[in-house]
Amino acid sequence: MKKLTSMALLATTCVLSPAALAHAGHHDVSHWYSGLLHPLTGIDHLLTMLLMGVVAARLSNGQSKVLLSMIALSFVGGMLLTSLFTAPATIEYLMMASVVLVPLAGLAIGRHHLLEAVSFVALALFGGAHGFVQGSEASGSVIMFSVGAVISSMMTCVAGLALARLAQTRLWPAIQAN
């Protein structure tokens, strides 16, 4: 029984610790670079934004620009909503779920026009939710924090897009050749 209790305590600690220390080291600063670091130091934000870029890579250049623009605008909209509402404690579950749901939305792209439209809306909503969470965690100069967070998040999406396109053009053909 003692071993079971110890294992349960260890499992609980492992599950809860990432949320407690998701963004360590830059909360004492309220400048744009605090916002710039924020999406890069939280694994949920980092993975989701990279995955959104990977999903955009499945589209044509024009469609990927539209999708990334929708994500950017909804991200900014989510940040603006934090001035009206406070984030519920359960919002972190949505952030974790988005790491799984964004790739699922990406799988629907190219299957059917309706599914593709729903995927675009879902990705924009996830972008808005991440903007809302990041805006609610801002302190000090919220505008400058937001500028940094938007730049960092969108550059992370573009990095995901570039990595996926590189894999499509260079890595995948090399694997198929062998």
Q: Which two tokens stand for residue 22?
A: 């998701």
CA distance 121 to 127: 10
pLDDT beyond 90 at 82:
no
Give pLDDT tens digits for 133-146. 888 877 777 788 88
pLDDT beyond 90 at 68:
yes
The angle, 0 to 180 degrees and rounded to 10, between the axes of the packed helices 91-108 and 43-57 is 20
pTM, two decimal places: 0.75
Q: Say if CB 55 and CB 102 are below 8 A apart.
A: yes
